[in-house]
Amino acid sequence: MDKNTSVGLDIGTTKIVAMVGVKNEFDKVEVLGVGKSESIGVHRGVVNNITQTIQSIIKAVEEAKVASGSEIEEVVVGIAGQHIRSLQHSDYITRDSPEKVINENDIERLIQQVYKLVMLPGEEIIHVLPQEYKVDGQAEIKEPIGMYGGRLEANFHVVVGQVSSIRNIGRCIKSSGLKMANITLEPLASSNAVLSIDEKEAGVALIDIGGGTTDLAIFKDGIIRHTAVIPFGGNVITEDIKEGCSIIEKQAELLKIKFGSAWPGENKDTEIVSIPGLRGRDPKEISLKTLSKIINARIVEIIEQVFLEIKNYGHSEQKNKLIAGIVLTGGGSQLKHLKQLVEYITGMDTRIGYPGEHLAGDSNKNTSPMFSTAVGLLMNALDDINYSKDEENSKGDFDENQPLSAENNSEIKIDKSISKKSIFDKWVEKFKDFLDNA
């Protein structure tokens, strides 16, 4: 594989997508090839059949190889599923030398301390995401590197998942003949693909409606504040249509895509669609009003659960207001009139999020919301390459006792990016060792 080429692998409930790409000279993502296969062994974001999942991954990766003309060895994988939960945690360290400035090693030590938190049996910490720092009691510091202080404190957003589910994904990747370069939470990947810096700063809730789960990520002041995974997605709506109209799943899915609407008032009672009968049986006639009522009942339930999570975050408080409202993405966001329904239930401004902003012009055929997570994972993989290059290019260590100057500022930035990479690297390395020894 070319050292500048990266691969994002989205293991979803309905589809597995492998996306190969590079960054062009304008820092835009150029998609070289996409491989897509039906996801058979995954239920609500969790692998429940290893063999079938491996076959689906191999199929998607082979398709991406042919489309891009690149060899694929390493992938950045997304993780979601009903086993994911998040919590807020505060921690601090006392520095040995307050007369020296805070550097990335201090932040890494603080983050590593959070990784030692005792979790419930069978759970493991996936992400530790710093929010605000405090230095010697001085609050609301976004970047403490370069400051003086004895006590370094921080609030963290900690994402936790089931060890067995994470290991099953790792086993599928390894058995498909691939290496796992990194693993990241899917709502975070989607947010990188569809949200702007301004939206994250103003306050925004990203709702990614997938096949098996609906993922939520809330940002405010440019920082991730809350994540949640709701164990319902587009597949539950299809299941409801199948049961409510007594038809097979394939027909229910087609009905949902072609005629489905989240707003029952749109359809007249006279609008009827005819479904072919099975093996010579008479065709079935289904009222579009009935269809949209079935869809509406389930989609309202999903949105209300998401809105409850937004309320739990504290959206009603003035300082937590989400000024940019809601961004909908994922395959389920393409349901007709969903935007209007979400605005009606939540009273918040809503738009559909497309991952096209970060893609080069000729890659725009991959801008469907259903590719948001894959594009985000590819961006994550390409950023990892840039971190590695920065690491190679950075010469010498930052002198803690040296007074800060414009020249040193650029070095601090490089160090910061390296530390962000290396902190999570340690977890990934530990995870890879486990897989190698299994």
pLDDT by residue for the chain (438 residues), tens only, comes to 666 788 999 998 889 999 999 888 887 888 899 999 999 888 888 899 999 999 999 999 999 999 988 888 899 998 887 788 888 999 999 999 889 999 999 999 999 999 999 888 989 898 898 988 999 999 889 899 999 999 999 999 998 988 898 899 999 999 999 998 888 888 889 999 999 999 999 999 999 999 888 999 999 998 888 988 898 899 999 999 999 988 899 999 999 999 989 988 777 777 888 888 777 788 888 888 899 999 999 999 999 999 999 999 888 888 889 999 999 999 999 999 999 999 999 999 999 999 887 787 765 566 789 899 999 999 988 887 665 555 555 444 434 444 443 333 333 332 333 344 444 555 566 556 655 655
Q: Residues 13, 45: contact at Cβ < 8 Å? A: yes
pLDDT for res 414: 29
In Å, how far from its chain's centre is CA 178? Answer: 21
Give domain status of residue 228, yes or no. yes
Residues 122 and 265 in one domain: no
Element (H, E) at 180: strand 179-185
Residues 143 and 90 in one domain: yes
Residues in the chain: 438
Pick from 318, 337, 352: which residue ends a domain?
352
3-state secondary structure of 53: helix
Nearest to 187 by CA among 218, 150, 161, 145: 218
Residues 326 and 278 in one domain: yes
The set of residues, in sequence order, having a beta carbon less than 8 Å from that of 58 and lying 6+ positions away, is 176, 177
pLDDT for res 306: 95
Q: Which two tokens stand for residue 216?
A: 């939520």
Enumerate the β-bridge partners of residue 148. 101
Residues 275 and 143 in one domain: no
pLDDT for res 421: 47
Residues 223 and 345 in one domain: yes
Give domain status of residue 129, yes or no. yes
Q: Which two tokens stand for residue 54?
A: 């491996």
Q: Residues 262, 299: contact at Cβ < 8 Å? A: yes
Residues 104 and 220 in one domain: no
Residue with tokens 């489309």: 67
**Angle ∠(392,396,402) on CA atoms, nearest 5:** 140
Residues 311 and 234 in one domain: yes
pTM here? 0.83
- Find the CATH number of the domain harbouring 253: 3.30.420.40
Whole-number Å distance between alpha carbons of 393 and 281? 70
Q: Residues 64, 21: contact at Cβ < 8 Å? A: no
Residues 227 and 309 in one domain: yes
The single-letter DSSP state of residue 102 is: P
**Angle ∠(147,149,150) on CA atoms, nearest 5:** 150
Give domain status of residue 374, yes or no. no
Pick from 293, 327, 352: which residue ends a domain?
352
- Find the CATH number of the domain harbouring 90: 3.30.1490.110
Residues 411 and 337 in one domain: no
Residue with tokens 């990947």: 189
pLDDT for res 366: 64
Give domain status of residue 77, yes or no. no
pLDDT for res 359: 82
Residue 188 vs residues 27, 363, 419: alpha-carbon distances, Å: 20, 22, 19
Nearest to 193 by CA among 324, 368, 23, 354: 354
Sheet with 204-209, edge to edge strand ranges: 223-230, 214-220, 204-209, 326-329, 350-352
Give domain status of residue 223, yes or no. yes
pLDDT for res 416: 36
Residues 312 and 242 in one domain: yes
Parent domain of 339 = 201-352
pLDDT for res 111: 93
Whole-number Å distance between alpha carbons of 403 and 335? 57
Give domain status of residue 375, yes or no. no
Q: Residues 28, 38: contact at Cβ < 8 Å? A: no
Pick from 322, 352, 382: which residue ends a domain?
352
The single-letter DSSP state of residue 282 is: P
* DSSP conformation letters of 351-406: EE--GGGGB-GGGGGG-SGGGHHHHHHHHHHHHHHHHHHHHHH--S---TTSPP-H
Q: Residues 141, 187: contact at Cβ < 8 Å? A: no
Give domain status of residue 145, yes or no. yes
Residues 345 and 419 in one domain: no
Q: Domain total for the chain?
A: 2
As a whole number of Å, the end-to-end CA separation of the chain is 26
The single-letter DSSP state of residue 120 is: S
Residues 214 and 340 in one domain: yes
pLDDT for res 155: 93
> Which residue type sits at 356?
G
Give domain status of residue 358, yes or no. no
